[in-house]
Amino acid sequence: MNSSSITLPTTIDEVIDHLDAIVATCEATGCRMGYFPAMYNRVTRQVKQRILEGSFEDNERMERFDVIFANRYLVAYYAYAQGKPCSESWKITFEASKKWSPMVIQHLIASMNAHICLDLGISAAETETHNLASLKNDFDQVNDILDSLIEEVESELREIFHPLTTFDKITGNSYWPIAHLGIVKSRTDAWHLAEAYAQLQTEKERQTFIELRDHHVAVIGKRILQPPKLIKLVIGKFRNFEKGTVADKVRIMNRNQVRL
C-alpha cells in the first residue's frame, strides 16, 4: 500500500467506506485487526443516522467531529500497515493482532482504550477550537448510542464465545452495566483531556501533551493484552472456547450493518 494513494475521509460516508474496506480486507486475510473496525463501523453508522435525523445541537459540527476522530484511528492503521511509525497505544493493539492468545474482547477493549483514552479528547478539542463547552451535549449524546448497541455486541460475543451465555445466566448480566459505566468513565476522562488540551498555546506543548498521554494509554493497553500471570492463565483456559476462524469472528462482528 502506497501512502500517496491514501486519501483520508472528509465526510462520514467516506469514513464508513474506509472502515468497510478495512473490515473486508481483514476478513479476507484472517487478520484480527478487523475486530475493532467492525464494531466501530456500527457506532459510526448510528452517529450518521442521528445526524440525518437532526438529533444533535450542531449536526454539521458533529459530522466534522466524527471525521476528525475516525481519522486518528485511520492514520494509525495505515501507518502501521505500511510499516511506518504510529502512536504507541495503537501500535500495541495492532501488534497483538499477530498473537493467538488474546481473546476478541481483549482486542476490543485495548482498541477502545486507545481510541477513547487517547484520540477522543484530542479530537473534541480540535473540532471546537473556540468554545469547547458548546460541544459537550452532543459529545455526551454518543453515550446513548453506545447504550443502544450493547445488546447487539453482546449477542455477537456470545456467538463467538459460547460460555458467555452461561456466565450471563449466573451473573444476571450484571457485568454489562459495569462495562457501560467503564465506558462512560473513560469518555468523561476524555472530556477532561479535551479541556486540558484546549488550554495549550503552542504546537510544541500540544505535541508533548499527546506523547505523554499516548505513553500512559499504552501502559494500560499492555495490561489489557498482557495481564499478570494468574489472570493470563485463566484467560488462556477461556480462550480455548472461542469458536471459529478469525475471518468467522470478523464476519460475525460485521453482521447486519445496513448502509444508510
**Is 78 in contact with 4 (CB distance < 8 Å)?**
no
pTM for the whole structure: 0.91
| In a domain? residue 258 | no
Residue 68 lies in a domain: yes
Q: Determine the Cα–Cα distance for residues 155 and 165; give it in Å rounded to an integer.
A: 9
Q: What are 165-199's pLDDT values in tens digits?
A: 666 665 555 555 666 677 889 999 999 999 999 99
pLDDT of residue 115: 96
pLDDT in tens, 124-153: 999 999 999 999 999 999 988 887 787 788
Residues 45, 250, 98, CA angle at the centre, nearest 5°? 120
pLDDT score for 2: 39
Q: In which residue are the cell numbers 450484571 written?
A: 174
Across the chain, mean pLDDT equals 90
Q: How many domains does the chain have?
A: 1
Q: Is position 17 within any domain?
A: yes
In a domain, 201, yes or no: yes
Give a yes or no: residue 44 inside a domain: yes
Residues 6+ away with beta carbon under 8 Å from 10: 67
Tell me: the pLDDT tens digits for 1-17? Answer: 334 468 999 999 999 99
The answer to whether position 63 is within a domain reads: yes
Cβ density class 241-253: b for 16+ within 10 Å, e for less: ebeeebeebbbbb
The answer to whether residue 176 sits within a structural domain is: yes
Range of the domain at 58: 3-253
Instruction: Name the grid cell of 152.
Output: 447487539
Helices (H), 82-135: 88-96, 104-114, 121-127
